[in-house]
Amino acid sequence: MLIQAIKKVGKTSSSRDRLNLTVGKKILGGFIIILVLLGGMGAISTHGIALVDGRHVKLLNEEVSTVEKIKDLKLEIMIQSNAIRGYLLTADSSYLAEYDDSIRHFESKVKYIQASNASAETKRQIKKLTQIHNDYLDNIQKQLELKQTKRNAEYLITVKTSAKKISNEFSSYADQIINYEKGELTSKSSKVTNETHNTKSLITTLSIIALIIGIFLAYYISRAISVPVNKASEAIKRLSAGDFSISEIKIRNKDEIGTMIVSLNKMVTDLRDVLKQVNASTSQVTISSELLAASAQHCGAAAGQVAQISMQNSIEMEQQMQHVSNVTQSINDMGGGIEQISNESEQMIEATGEATLITEQGLDSVYKIFHQMNQIKESFSHTTELIKSLEERSQHIGNIIIMITKIAESTNLLALNASIEAARAGEHGNAFSVVAEQVRKLAIESKESAADIKNMITDIQSETKEAVLAINSGNLKVQEGLVSTSTVNTAFTNIKDSIHSVHQKASRVSLALDKLNQSSKQISHSVIYVNDISKLSTSASQEIAAAADGQLEAMTKVTLSSESLSNWSDQLQVLLSRFKI
């Protein structure tokens, strides 16, 4: 199932251009997968440990209890034999009561074993042992009858032959059952040990798979954020240096970063078009100013000629009128050019306003990314605290395992002391010695199991520390992303300032063009006025001279205006030279 999940994540990674996941969703999804893996590992580990512990406890309860009950059956046979002997020797009825109580105890223990979860073989052997016990009871009954009828010879023969044989057979068969149960205990203990090793292997495998998935997710998320941000940062650096010849940035992201890149591409395209229009308009302004200067010089020369030949005949006046008509046509052409330049300047101002709006949108997107990355950083810190808490709980479990180990050692010591006391008691302490030996073995096995669990807890703590290191590494990468986002924000601010500066200069050019248009209209009116005066009378030479002087002054203003327009055009050319289109 985990391998299929890895393949599914890989397939998602290769098809991320078809997904519309935000940066926050990608990072949140990665954290959820890691937390699910950690929770799954914890649940599987807990379940495995509980399963092994439960089977171990069940094994101890069932097998040891069966062995103890069989030993109790041997003990009951001894009690019954002693009670019958006492009754036969003393004729005291209290021995018969003890004998009956022992039979009831024997039967209750047999019923307990038959009702327990003992194996079918064990129950079959207990059934046979019960038959031997019934034969033994029949033999005892026969001894009582012989004794009561005072057939002592037959009684002695029965005691020495059949009674002793049945007793030995019972004891031997009970020992066989005990040895069989010990073998079963050893076999089941081996199975529990194998299950413990399998559980450890499973936990180790899951830990490795979780680590691989965590590394893969960290790599995928970091690549999904860092690659487009680096491309955008490089493009913005070139834009801040005035290089607008960059190609369109192509990425597959459909998140906030993808939206930012699309906005950046649109902004670069719009600014490039604006700069091209401004460059073309500047060239037209230069050409128009040159034409205007030439026309002004021509008009000035014409005005001088009018002053010199003001007293000449009407033929020369008609020639002057022809020159005035030419000047009027040139001024009209210049007015059309100026009006065209003014319209294109207004378009350039509108384009710079749109570029400013787009830049502000880019700044808002960068701020959102910066805010989300701060939230990611806080999420990393919270996850680290959770894993540290898990490590502290593992240490607490380790302390409990140490306490269990100490209890097992104390139990082992008590079992040893019990064995010593049983040895001192001689034959009467044999049964207690067997019990003490079993307790000591169980204490040793408990100690070994506690050591295995402690090793597993140590492995979990080690892997938890590795997870903390991996999360800290991811936190550093998020910090680097914050620094890159801050750099992008600064670059957007610089672009916004540059666009604002272009907008102001374009506004000043538009104002100058308006003034120049007004001046050209004034010149046109003056020329028309001169033409009208020339038509009124060829004899009004003084008036024509005065008009020529006015025309010469107007031409001087036109020359100054054309020079000013040329200077503005040169400054705009210098400003545009900073940008590479």
Write the single-letter amino acid at 37: L
Mean pLDDT, residues 471-485 taken together: 71
**517 Cα distance to chain centroid:** 64
SS3 call for 537: coil
Res 13: pLDDT? 44
* Choice between 337 and 100, residue whose per-residue pLDDT is larger: 100
Write the single-letter amino acid at 174: A
Residue 255 lies in a domain: no
pTM to 2 decimals?
A: 0.35
Q: How far apart are the C-alpha atoms of 350 and 273, rounded to whole Å?
A: 12
Res 19: pLDDT? 47
- Say if residue 498's pLDDT is above 70: no
Residue 474 lies in a domain: no
Res 552: pLDDT? 66
What is the secondary structure of 245-310 as a DSSP string? -PPPP-----SHHHHHHHHHHHHHHHHHHHHHHHHHHHHHHHHHHHHHHHHHHHHHHHHHHHHHST
CATH number at residue 361: 1.10.287
- Say if residue 274's pLDDT is above 70: yes
Burial class (CB in 10 A: 0-12, 13-18, 19+), 492: buried
Residue 500 lies in a domain: yes
Split into its structural domains, the chain has a count of 1
Residues 66-79: pLDDT tens digits?
A: 778 778 888 888 88
Residue 186 lies in a domain: no
Containing structural domain, residue 520: 277-373+488-575
- Say if residue 304's pLDDT is above 70: no
Provide the mean pLDDT of the chain. 73
Distances (CA, A) of 39 to 25, 107, 202, 338: 20, 51, 15, 75
- Say if residue 342's pLDDT is above 70: no
Res 62: pLDDT? 58
Q: How far apart are the C-alpha atoms of 470 and 473, rounded to whole Å?
A: 5
Residue 392 lies in a domain: no
Q: How far apart are the C-alpha atoms of 534 and 526, rounded to whole Å?
A: 12
Residue 538 lies in a domain: yes
Residues 118-147: pLDDT tens digits?
A: 778 878 888 888 888 888 788 777 777 777
Which residues, at least 6 apart from 188, have a Cβ–Cβ distance to it below 8 Å? 59, 63
Residues 190-247: pLDDT tens digits?
A: 887 887 888 888 888 988 998 898 888 888 877 777 778 887 788 788 777 777 777 7
Q: Please check whether residue 554 is in contact with residue 522, taking contact to mean a CB–CB distance below 8 angstroms.
A: yes
Q: Which of 268, 210, 213, 211 is nearest to 236 (CA)?
A: 268
Query: Could you tell me where the beta strands, DSSP code E, fall in 3-161?
Result: none
Mean pLDDT, residues 5-29 taken together: 54
Residue 254 lies in a domain: no
Res 5: pLDDT? 45
Q: How far apart are the C-alpha atoms of 440 and 414, rounded to whole Å?
A: 8
Residue 295 lies in a domain: yes
- Say if residue 405's pLDDT is above 80: no
- Say if residue 581's pLDDT is above 60: yes
State whether the Cα torsion 475-479-484-485 is positive or negative. positive
SS3 call for 434: helix
Tokens, residue 206: 């899951």
